[in-house]
Structure 1
């Protein structure tokens, strides 16, 4: 009679543990499904936003083709504008780099 009680308790405990484990796995699978659906929605939104930004970038992009036979003064002015913009960007980059180095030096060296 004692062994019958022991095996009955063990069997019931195993069944209860299997039930709880199965329940947890089912809930995890359902939650995973919801997250996969949400990730799909986010990926779709990202693709749409990327397409919008790409269209805006293409619309704002200034195409420069061959300028053979164009007005030389206008072309020179355009080149000078591009060079001035490049110099301004270079100056800004150098200033940012100098502040970064100064901050790092004060942080590390005191």
Structure 2
């Protein structure tokens, strides 16, 4: 079942990014994507020549009062991205690959 976009906060979005671009690499210093219910933050490097994510880390937090009790828990759940931008592989940060 798919929830309507309004339920998951997909109708009110905002995004901004601080980055440096040099030698074919996009160094994302700060990525911030906000919807009504969730804030997604991240940083890392994307090698545009090799189409490869390097040391890319993302985290999500609930917004508003609902997010307060879950804030500390959400800090533990950070995800590392690797692979290509077209087919990224995300894994829980700090877990070993098998």
**TM-score category of the 2 structures, normalised to the smaller one:** under 0.3
TM-score by length of 2: 0.21
Greater per-residue strand proportion = 2
TM-score by length of 1: 0.19
Greater per-residue helix proportion = 1
Flag the structure with more relative contact order, 1 or 2, with Cα contacts below 8 A and sequence separation at least 6.
2
